Structure 1
Amino acid sequence: MKTNSLGLDLKKTEVLAAELNILLANFQVYYQNLRGLHWNIRGKRFFDLHVKFEELYNDSQLKIDMIAERILTLGGRPLHTFEDYIKNNKLFVGKDISNDEDAVNLIVNALTQLLKIERVILKQSDEALDEGTNSMMSDFIKEQEKTIWMMKAWLEEEI
């Protein structure tokens, strides 16, 4: 088995970098969705949601950078074009959403899809003994599960 300077199996890290690139592309779409929601939200809940959406897109921006840097750490090259993002996207692209419930549902659906991608990466990183990626995915998953719970509570829906 060939290993990189981190002591990780080269073939497994190539697979992980590719999966992380899919996550990166989807996070970029999620980020853009959040920016659109922040700009376009209307109604009586405007002030609360405008601030919340900004909090979420700022957090997403940090995660995007973490994902890209992890790809580089594993020896990969992060995707960085809109063409690549759209090609690898699994999220619904929200356009001109100004209704509060539609906006929150878009976030819940996006986070649900991101969790699916992250759980694949979590399993692969565990099998590759890649604690760095594994830890990052665990942190992302824990945060996103809580956000889904909070958004579902806001929608008055069960988890």
Structure 2
Amino acid sequence: MENSILEIQKPKKKSFASLGYTKLETAELVDTMNKLLANYAVHYQKLRNFHWNVRGGDFFDIHEQFEMQYKTASVVIDEIAERIRIFGQRPLSTMREFLETSEIKESGTDMTGLEMVREVIKDYHVLLEHLFATIEVAIENGDSGTEDMMKGYVKHVEKNHWMLTAFSHQG
């Protein structure tokens, strides 16, 4: 009886031949990463849009903040796409694919700076949902590389969320 309990509790053993993931595991990992990638891509373009079109009394602060955030998003997008390639799969890569897949939607340019900040805060909620979903799928499939990568992104998104939320509560 004791042996059967120990066998059940053993972690999943990977062969690491071709990363050691089954087709199903690979499909689950890539699907969740592609959804995250699409949301980051639309978020990135929205940040660039806002960076170019923000105006008003807080222009310099918001303009600079959006630029820093879209530069970071660009790096994250590249890393997620490369992680998908590590699994031998193709990342989403066209605007059509991104827009069809993303929960984050495009925004116009006729917004105040504060409205833009609040829109980005909403995007961070969506990104966090997808980051946590990706972490969950990575854990379920024994993919510590993706899990670790996503946890780093969570910290960054949470910090940006906090900073923009603090800014948006101006007196």
Whether the TM-score (by the shorter chain) exceeds 0.5 is yes
| Structure 2 counterpart of 1:83 | 96
1:58-137 mapped onto 2 (5 Å cutoff): 58-137=71-150
- How many residue pairs match? The answer is 157
User: TM-score scaled to structure 2, two decimals?
Assistant: 0.86
SS of aligned partner of 1:132: helix
Measured in 1, the distance between the counterparts of 2:67 and 2:110 equals: 15
**Matched residue type, 1:40:** N
Q: Is the 8 A contact 2:32 2:137 kept in 1?
A: no
Structure 1, gaps ≥5 residues long: none
- Confirm or deny: 8 A CA contact 1:28 1:85 kept in the other structure: yes
The CA deviation at 1:8 is 2.9
In the alignment, the residues of structure 2 paired with residue 112 and residue 95 of structure 1 have an alpha-carbon distance, to the nearest angstrom, of 20
Distance of 1:62 and 1:37 partners within structure 2:
18
C-alpha root-mean-square deviation of aligned residues, in Å? 1.7
Identity of aligned residues (%): 34
Which of structure 1's runs of 4+ aligned residues deviate more than 2 A? Answer: 1-4, 7-10
Structure 1 residues 55 and 123 mapped into 2: Cα distance closer, same or farther (>3 Å)?
A: same
Q: Normalization by structure 1: what TM-score?
A: 0.92
Following superposition, the deviation at residue 88 of structure 1 comes to 0.1
Q: By how many angstroms is 1:76 displaced?
A: 1.4
| Structure whose CA Rg is larger | 2
Corresponding residue for 2:50? 37
